[in-house]
Amino acid sequence: MCKFVKGRELCRGFFNDVVRPILERYFPDLEYTAGLLGYGSDVLGYDDEVSTDHMWGPRFYLFLRDEECNIKERLLDVFSSEFPYSYRGYSVNFSSLDPNDNGIRHAEQIDSGRVNPLIFIYTPDEYFDNYIGAHDFTKLDEIDWLTFSEHKLLTLKKAEFYVDRLGVGERLRLLSYYPDAVWLYLLASNWALAAEEQAFVRRCHDVGDELGSRLACARIAERLMRLGFLYCREYAPYSKWFGTAFTQLSLDNDIKTAISRAVGAVDITEREDNLVAAQQLLARLHNSLCKQNEFQSSELTEPVSDEIVSYFGRKIKVIFADRIANSIKPLLAQTKLADLPPIGTLSEVADFTCLYDNPKYRERLRSLYTEV
């Protein structure tokens, strides 16, 4: 078995060593963009040996101008006849689409015949429409941003281009992060959603519902983690890589530690103390950004109290997270987001992947925000 190579390195080497010379020989005048982007843990750099079992290996995307789409079949024919059977120990040949497994393809080692490579050829507009449901990123409004899969925005931000004569990378810079108004709305939403259950961690425990207490803690913890991504202005990946990416954020380790301890706590006091401590630390981060004018608004939020207090005199510790949400809302006054309920996006709900990852539902997702 060959030594594992990270997919980004493998694909970069495959293109430069194998594909580029073939294109220069057979299509010397072709104006194209080629790179690695979109689906796959390799795009994000999280791939390991387990990742190699499907849709992983020497691969790339090739983008053509509209007027040159008629050479797709010729390109595929040349690649099939000229590609080697393996590269750095990994098969360049792949199976046909598996109809019983969502069209997945698997590496299949061969030693004769034509290669069936794992490559994708599109025009840029065609690819973006298929992948996220839009291609003119200069015309996006605030609601449009709420209908995109955050994970897919991340995979586009992490794109690596080997050749970019069509300027695809420049187009993608418009998607590098949420516009300020959307960012503020998502901040307010996640604080508000955390506040919805802020009293339930202790309350559930006190009535004998330990399982309910742990679940409430976990839901709040996820909201706090999402706030961590937002304050770092980084897109969050979907649930498989969510925790991994969170640990890599440029965020105070005390925040990460408090969240981890809260979720793992068996004792209710340890659970509650760490969860509220994480909220307090994030509130302090929020207040520090207010002082640094990070909100880029002439009407900054005033620093909000981060004091840990009892919940209306009860034996429950809170910082009243909703106060932070309420402090942000005035900054949205002149935007399309001003009167929206603070629900964030559906891509912040871990198991809604089949809904927010499918571009055909984008218009229906818009109705969540336009018909309220």
Q: Which two tokens stand for residue 337?
A: 């987001």
Residue 227, Cα to own-chain centre: how many angstroms? Answer: 14
The beta-carbon contacts of 357-361 under 8 Å, at least 24 apart in sequence, are 357/149, 357/151, 357/152, 359/129, 359/130, 359/131, 359/132, 359/133, 359/134, 360/133
CA distance linking residue 280 with residue 259, whole number of Å: 11
The per-residue pLDDT for 296 is: 57
Q: What is the pLDDT of residue 298?
A: 45
Nearest to 244 by CA among 51, 41, 37: 41
Residue 238 pLDDT: 95
Torsion of CA 62, 63, 69, 75, to 10 degrees: -20
Specify the amino acid at residue 167. G
Taking the C-alpha atoms of residue 203 and residue 127, their distance in angstroms, rounded to an integer, is 49
Full pLDDT tens readout for the chain, 372 residues: 688 999 999 999 999 999 999 999 999 999 999 999 999 999 999 999 999 999 999 999 999 999 999 999 999 999 999 999 999 999 999 999 988 888 899 999 999 999 999 999 999 999 999 999 999 999 999 999 999 999 999 999 999 999 999 999 999 999 999 999 999 999 999 999 999 999 999 999 999 999 999 999 999 999 999 999 999 999 999 999 999 999 999 999 999 999 999 999 999 999 999 999 999 999 999 999 887 766 655 456 778 999 999 999 999 999 999 999 999 999 999 999 999 999 999 999 988 888 889 999 999 999 989 876
Within its chain, how far is the Cα of 125 from the centroid? 21
Give the single-character DSSP code of 236.
P
321-357 core/surface letters (b: 16 or more CB in 10 A; e: else) = bbebbbbbbebbeebbbeebebbbbbbbeeeeeeebb
Looking at residue 160, its pLDDT comes to 98
